Structure 1
């Protein structure tokens, strides 16, 4: 059973009744609810001590999911550094929707992670462009969302290790919506959909992608690499 932590700043749910009606248990609660089958899932939020990400929680977490939007700057830099180190050591990280601007994602990417955006209740069609990827297992040719926030190119991220979905929006824009990276020993997945005023995380196809991503991001079981000065494995002959 994998140890999964779902982190959410949990601010929109406190301030916006529309969001509260869609996600009465919070976005973190909605995501945790569909991941609990087969995983040991806990949640953490911004206003908890240490943002709910204590050393004990991080040490036990195998995959961390991150949703944030309006309070990125309130996340303590020391916590970001600890999360970064856990990713480098092998913890999986799944970055959702507006968490493209989170400190942890920008730190791991090394770029601004900026983009175009628009809220216009428009259709989004997420096309699968890498059907053999394990995150796409069970997903049809595309996922269609009746209403979503638009994100448009240029998306200022490093070239993904793997680009597996591309979004088209009713207004004409396209966007790299499902991207994977490897950082140190850890695997990182960015997945675009999930604006707070739409019921995106109740969509079973979106849930499937996230479930698959959790499995994909599972830490690899192996001996930790050894760094620094090393003794030779074989006898080195005298020159």
Structure 2
């Protein structure tokens, strides 16, 4: 069984009654619930837990880590970020959601500012599938329409994705690369844009399906990891 940890800073839920009403069990709780229903072993971790809930034991047992953050990126310890980065390089999958684009871990793995345009105006978002053969969009039609979402607009300061899976259009006219995959070391990374805290985006069945598909895509490959460093020759070297 694939073991998933859903990490959420869990601050909006404490400060904003609108968010509490939309996600009474927290964003992490809502995501973990549909992942559990889909057959994964899903746990949660939050910012204010010791080590942000990401102890060595938790990380070492996690196949895929989901990350949602916004208000408190700077409060995530550099030590925990370094541990998550190493786990990705060792093969753990990472799915970065919505405002997690500005998280320390995503910026570390991307090596860029990860900045973008944004606007909160209750506008329609249409996520167009631009890679229809990709496993992340299995069971999804040509597009996903969200009645209300926060706008993110280009230029999105990220490295060119290995694969661009979704491209968003917003009612105000902007477009955005909203589903991007990367390989980092032995691990896979998927950035998925939707999920503003005051909208019920994570209850949308198509959004849930994308995240479920992404977990299956990002799970570690079952093989011996490459060995790095000084290496003995595989063949007999001629005497020089």
Question: Which interval holds the TM-score relative to the shorter structure?
Answer: over 0.9
**2:228, 2:178 → 1: CA distance?**
35
**1:236, 1:56 → 2: CA distance?**
43
Task: Give CA deviations for 1:103-138 in whole Å, capped at 9, x if unaligned.
Answer: 000000000000000000000000000000000100
Aligned partner of 1:94 in structure 2 is 95
1:73-88 residue pairs with structure 2 within 5 A?
A: 73-88=74-89
Cα distance, 1:224 vs structure 2: 1.2
**2:229, 2:192 → 1: CA distance?**
36
Aligned partner of 1:236 in structure 2 is 237
TM superposition score normalised by structure 2: 0.99
SS at match of 1:222: coil
TM superposition score normalised by structure 1: 0.99
Cα distance, 1:228 vs structure 2: 1.6
Aligned partner of 2:35 in structure 1 is 35
Aligned partner of 2:12 in structure 1 is 12
SS at match of 2:183: strand
1:110-129 residue pairs with structure 2 within 5 A?
A: 110-129=111-130
1:137-216 residue pairs with structure 2 within 5 A?
A: 137-216=138-217
**2:209, 2:26 → 1: CA distance?**
19
Count of paired positions: 239
Task: Give CA deviations for 1:187-225 in whole Å, capped at 9, x if unaligned.
Answer: 000000000000000000000000000000000111111
User: Is 1:70 the counterpart of 2:63 in the alignment?
Assistant: no
Aligned partner of 2:135 in structure 1 is 134
Task: Give CA deviations for 1:71-119 in whole Å, capped at 9, x if unaligned.
Answer: 0000011000000000000000000000000000000000000000000
**1:202, 1:227 → 2: CA distance?**
43
Aligned partner of 2:22 in structure 1 is 22
**2:137, 2:18 → 1: CA distance?**
31
Task: Give CA deviations for 1:37-70 in whole Å, capped at 9, x if unaligned.
Answer: 3111100000000000000000000000000000
**2:19, 2:230 → 1: CA distance?**
54
Unmatched tracts of structure 2, length 5 or more: none
**1:137, 1:5 → 2: CA distance?**
22
**2:239, 2:45 → 1: CA distance?**
59
**1:29, 1:208 → 2: CA distance?**
17
Aligned partner of 1:220 in structure 2 is 221
Unmatched tracts of structure 1, length 5 or more: none
Moved over 2 A (4+): none
Cα distance, 1:237 vs structure 2: 2.3
**2:225, 2:151 → 1: CA distance?**
41
**2:165, 2:48 → 1: CA distance?**
34
